[in-house]
Amino acid sequence: MRWAETLTFCKDPADVVDYTLNFKGLLQSDVISTATIVGTDITIDSSSVSGNVVTIWVSGGTDGTKAEIKTTIVTTNSTPRTFERTFTVDIKNL
């Protein structure tokens, strides 16, 4: 996924789905030490980090709304870097 693009996904309120964010192109040789996920109008069920990839499991939401998922990562190098990215999920009865 390219971060210059506006990202919008769609899910049904009853769906439990995962979104995978690959930060490799942004971080190059660094790896993620921590990831903090905050959802607005959606439930964050869990998240995990593997190298430069963050996987986020979500559920819920209300039909006709737009949810946001904000991901903040910190790298492991000697001078840790922090990046924050947000994407939108349209909640629709499908």
Per-residue pLDDT of the chain (94 residues; tens, 9 = 90+): 445 456 788 999 999 999 999 988 888 788 899 999 999 999 999 999 998 999 999 999 999 999 999 999 999 887 788 999 999 999 999 8
Q: Rounded CA gap, 91 and 94, in Å?
A: 9
Q: Which two tokens stand for residue 42?
A: 């959606």
Predicted confidence at residue 1, as pLDDT, reads: 44
Q: What is the helix, strand, coil percentage profile of the chain, to 5?
A: 5, 60, 35
Q: How many residues does the chain have?
A: 94
Domain map (residue ranges) of the chain? 8-91
Predicted confidence at residue 8, as pLDDT, reads: 82
* Range 8-91 has CATH code 1.10.357: no
Q: Which two tokens stand for residue 9?
A: 């996904």
Predicted confidence at residue 6, as pLDDT, reads: 63
| 82 in Cβ contact with 34 (< 8 Å) | no
